[in-house]
Structures are given as structure tokens and as C-alpha cells.
């Protein structure tokens, strides 16, 4: 039986990074993963993020943004085209090629760092002395047992099912099905206005679909700062034409041969809408399928999350869990940082991860990003704060890009001026938010951001101006 210092279950952004870091620290490491490529005929590392999540969705968002730019924005640059053709199949092929390149890259990184990779689904089988025993099923009736002193569970999450219908990825789609449409649906329905719903709705709206998003919550983007969320709602509905209905109660979903009908109640009115395709994007749930936690007494809470402490330790000695399968935001970068931290804790180091400093990003157009406390949270917690805002409308770089929409909002402590939260909607704010994270992590003040020289002309000047505005000394607004 093969023995390892560390066995990582799952090769998503949390698992593969944890495995690499453990190997770098001198630990004999194995990573076990059951993921396959799109065709299902070969192993594929990278988990949901690389294969059917973060990476492919960003590829489609970029392709669809090019289409929208050609059709709607080129004219003001003096560019005219006599004919524009869009090939959805080619867009999907490009996305698939990016996925293949990156998943292959993880295989190379494993080889470079001497991480052993085993294909299959791992489950707990018991304990032998100080080692945990794992049984690996390769899906072909073949099993292999290994032992490891430490186990890191990084099995991620799966789409939350909608009880009213089954996902067939033909007409009723989850995130994977939404990423593989080869024809633009005439009428597309999306249940859920979270990150996946908004991004996938945006992709297919830009290339010609009539998109309706149905959201059960009465508030749009409840996790975001509501000033930014309200601005986003205006852009998405009034300017881009997404039909977003909030406070919806779905009554029934009926699949036809080539369509899906959805019955729902909205503002006291019963409605039935027929869509060509329906995307179900109502969140994700932890994935512990086949893990067999009962065999060793691994604690799982009532929502299905593996129970861990602040350092990702489970109730079992030397068993750790990270990423989507534990508490905290379901974000790839959170999982990766937890994986690094756990690997370092195993060898006695003392890393620290502050959830308040983790950035959130939604890759719509305009993009939405934030880190730290929202204004609503500060009010609820009774924290006195200062607020500064600045818009992209007068920013030279944004105007040159033709993307002069959006706002940056800086929240600082009224007494100490320490940065408490930064919230953004606008062009490339997925990149700008890194400065906000740095400020939060190093406990910077609003004045620190205001005193740092920002290059001109750049989009970052809007963050600089918002920090100035928090101290009532804005220069350009």
C-alpha cells in the first residue's frame, strides 16, 4: 500500500494548490481527483473552476463582449463594417482550447513539483496507526488503497438542484450546460441573479438572445453594497435590456421537446413564460458525495458542509478541509489561499487568512468588485464611518476606452480613517480591487490611498479620487 505524508482529495483551485505547496515544503504528496474532460474520455485536473466555471465563463464573456462592441460601439470610433457574422460553435471551441491548455498546465505543475496524481474518487476507509486509509475508485471497477498521515479534503461544490425539475443540459441547463450552447437561444430564461446567472445571462444577451432572469430574493445582489447594486441593476435592465424580475416564486417548470415553460408569481400576478432554454443558477452546495465521512466520524453540519475551525482543521486529527466544502465564501481564490495555509500549518508555520480581505468579482459589463464591509453592514454594526465616491464619467482613461460608466466607493472609519470597505462598478474593476485588498490587509487609512501617486491617465485614479472624497477633499468632483 502506497504511503504519503499528505493526500489531497480534489484537484480544483484549492486542492491542486494545496498539493503543490505541500510538495514544495518537502512532504510526499498525492492528489486524487475524478474529473474528466468535456468528452468524458480522459482525466482533467482543475475542478469546476477550470473546467466548467471561472475560466470558461470568462472566455465566453470576452468573446461575447467583442460581438457587442462590434455591433454597438465601433461606430463612435469611426469604424464601420459591412457584414458581421457570429459563430457560436467557434466561440465554444476557443473556450474549450483555453480550458485544455490550463488543465494540462496543472498536470505539468504536478510533475514539476513531484506531486503524484491519481485519477479516481477517494473515500475514507478507516485508520491504521497514525495514518488515514483512503479507497480510490477509478470508475471502472478498479480500486486502490493508500495511506496518508494528513488528508486535505478539497472536494468543492456542485450546483444546487431545483426541486421542480431535473437538469438535463439539453433544455434545462446548469452552469456546464450554459457554457456549451452551440446555438444562440431565441428566448433564454435564467433562474437566479447571482454571479453565474448574471454572467451567463450577459453572455447570451450580447450575442442576440432575449434574456429573462427570475430571482426569488426581493433584493438585487444582496451581498453587495446596495448603492453599487442599484447602479448595476439600472445598467443591466435599462441599458442592456436584461429583464430581471425580483421577488419571484416559481410554481412549476415543464419541459417540452424544444422548449421549457416556467410558471411563477411576481408582484401577486401569476405568469407563464416559454423559453427555448432555461439556466438554473440558484447557488451551489458542498460536494461530499462518495467521501464516506461516516466511516471515520468526520463531522458534517446540517447544510452539508464539513465542520472546520478557523484554521481549517476538522474534528479528526490531521484531517483538514478547504474551499467550497467548508464555511465561508465559495470563491476559487479563497480555496487556493486556504490550501496554501493548510500546507504551511502542517509543517508548523503560522499563516493567516482574513475573510474580510477576500475580494469578490462579478465579470459583467460593467464589472462589479468589492472587498471589506458594505455600508449596510457598517450601519447594522453601529460603526461610525466616512464615505467617499467618485465616478468613471470624467476619467480620461475610461472615456478613451468608451467605458465611462460606474462608481468607486471608499468607506473609512470615522475615528481612525482606517479603510473598512471598497466597492466598485466600472471597467476592469476586477483588477482595481487588488489595491483595495492591499489597503485592507495592511490596515491602511483612507489618507494612505489618497497620498499614493496614481499614474495618469489610468482607471485607478477613480479609486484615488474616492479616497480623497472620503476626507472631503476631492479634486476632480
Residue pair 444/453 in contact (Cβ under 8 Å)? The answer is no
336 labeled binding residue: no
Strand partners, 210: 187
- Which member of 128, 143, 266, 456 is catalytic? 456
Alpha carbon distance 354, 349 (integer Å):
16
Question: What is the residue whose three cell numbers read 518537502?
Answer: 26
259 labeled binding residue: no
Quick one: which of 266, 286, 169, 168 has its CA closest to 217?
Answer: 266
Biggest CA-to-CA distance, the chain: 74
396 labeled binding residue: no
Angle at 231 between CA 195 and CA 173, to 5 degrees: 25
Instruction: Give me the sign of the Cα torsion angle 20, 26, 32, 37.
Output: positive
Rg of the chain over all Cα atoms, to the nearest angstrom: 24
71 labeled binding residue: no
333 labeled binding residue: yes
Cell numbers linked to 407: 462608481
Strand partners, 6: 29, 150
- 456 annotated active-site: yes
199 labeled binding residue: yes
Residue pair 24/16 in contact (Cβ under 8 Å)? The answer is no
Give Cα separations from 289 to 153, 157, 158, 299 (angstroms): 12, 10, 10, 14
Alpha carbon distance 341, 318 (integer Å):
14
192 labeled binding residue: yes
- 189 Cα distance to chain centroid: 21
57 labeled binding residue: no
Alpha carbon distance 325, 306 (integer Å):
6
E strand or H helix at 398: helix 396-401
Question: DSSP code of 416?
Answer: T
100 labeled binding residue: no
Strand partners, 146: 2, 134
283 labeled binding residue: yes
Q: Mark out the alpha helices in 129-238 (DSSP H runs).
A: 175-178, 195-206, 226-234
C-beta atoms surrounding 298 within 10 Å:
20
91 labeled binding residue: no
58 labeled binding residue: yes
- Return the SS3 of 130: coil
332 labeled binding residue: yes
157 labeled binding residue: yes
For the chain, count helices (H), then strands (E).
Answer: 13, 22
374 labeled binding residue: no
Q: Point out the annotated binding site for FAD.
A: 58, 155-157, 324, 330-333
* Catalytic residue IDs: 456
Q: Point out the annotated binding site for NAD(+).
A: 192-199, 215, 283
Q: Point out the annotated binding site.
A: 58, 155-157, 192-199, 215, 283, 324, 330-333
Amino acid at each position: 500500500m502506497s504511503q504519503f505524508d499528505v493526500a489531497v482529495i480534489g484537484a480544483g483551485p484549492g486542492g491542486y494548490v494545496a498539493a503543490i505547496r505541500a510538495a514544495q515544503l518537502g512532504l510526499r504528496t498525492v492528489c486524487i481527483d475524478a474529473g474528466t474532460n468535456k468528452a468524458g474520455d480522459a482525466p482533467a485536473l482543475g475542478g469546476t473552476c477550470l473546467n466548467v466555471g471561472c475560466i470558461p465563463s470568462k472566455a465566453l464573456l470576452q468573446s461575447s463582449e467583442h460581438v457587442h462592441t462590434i455591433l454597438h460601439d465601433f461606430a463612435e470610433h469611426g469604424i464601420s463594417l459591412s457584414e458581421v457574422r457570429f459563430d457560436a460553435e467557434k466561440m465554444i471551441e476557443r473556450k474549450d482550447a483555453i480550458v485544455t491548455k490550463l488543465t494540462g498546465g496543472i498536470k505539468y505543475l504536478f510533475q514539476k513539483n513531484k506531486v503524484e496524481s491519481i485519477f479516481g474518487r477517494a473515500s475514507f476507509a478507516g485508520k491504521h496507526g497514525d495514518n488515514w486509509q483512503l479507497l480510490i475508485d477509478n470508475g471502472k471497477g478498479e480500486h486502490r488503497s493508500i495511506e496518508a498521515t494528513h488528508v486535505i479534503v478539497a472536494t468543492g461544490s456542485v450546483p444546487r438542484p431545483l426541486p421542480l425539475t431535473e437538469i438535463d443540459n439539453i433544455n434545462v441547463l446548469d452552469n456546464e450546460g450554459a457554457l456549451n450552447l452551440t446555438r444562440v437561444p431565441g428566448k433564454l430564461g435564467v433562474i437566479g441573479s447571482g454571479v453565474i446567472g448574471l454572467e451567463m445571462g450577459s453572455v447570451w444577451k450580447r450575442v442576440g438572445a432575449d434574456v429573462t432572469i427570475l430571482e426569488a430574493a426581493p433584493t438585487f445582489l444582496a451581498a453587495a453594497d446596495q448603492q453599487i447594486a442599484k447602479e448595476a441593476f439600472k445598467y443591466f435592465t435599462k441599458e442592456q435590456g436584461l429583464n430581471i424580475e425580483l421577488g419571484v416564486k416559481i410554481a412549476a417548470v415543464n419541459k417540452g421537446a424544444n422548449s421549457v415553460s416556467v410558471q411563477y408569481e411576481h408582484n401577486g400576478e401569476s405568469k407563464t413564460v416559454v423559453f427555448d432554454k432555461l439556466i438554473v443558477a440558484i447557488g451551489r452546495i458542498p460536494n461530499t458525495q462518495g467521501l464516506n465521512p461516516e466511516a471515520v466520524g468526520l463531522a458534517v453540519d446540517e447544510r452539508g458542509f464539513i465542520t472546520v475551525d478557523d484554521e481549517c482543521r476538522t474534528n479528526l486529527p490531521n484531517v483538514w478541509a478547504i474551499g467550497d466544502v467548508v464555511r465561508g465564501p465559495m470563491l476559487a481564490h479563497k480555496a487556493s489561499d486556504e490550501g496554501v495555509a493548510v500546507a504551511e500549518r502542517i509543517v508548523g508555520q503560522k499563516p493567516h487568512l482574513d475573510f474580510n480581505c477576500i475580494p469578490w468579482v462579478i465579470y459583467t459589463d460593467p464589472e462589479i468588485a468589492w472587498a471589506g464591509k458594505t455600508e449596510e453592514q457598517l450601519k447594522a454594526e453601529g460603526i461610525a464611518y466616512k464615505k467617499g465616491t467618485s465616478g468613471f464619467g470624467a476619467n480620461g482613461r475610461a472615456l478613451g476606452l468608451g467605458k465611462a460608466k460606474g462608481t468607486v466607493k471608499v468607506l473609512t472609519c470615522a475615528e481612525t480613517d482606517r479603510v473598512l470597505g471598497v466597492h466598485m462598478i466600472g471597467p476592469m474593476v476586477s483588477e482595481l480591487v487588488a489595491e483595495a485588498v492591499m489597503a485592507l490587509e495592511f490596515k491602511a487609512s483612507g489618507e494612505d490611498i489618497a497620498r499614493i501617486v496614481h499614474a495618469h491617465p489610468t482607471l485607478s485614479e477613480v479609486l484615488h479620487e474616492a479616497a480623497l472624497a472620503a476626507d472631503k477633499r476631492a479634486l476632480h468632483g
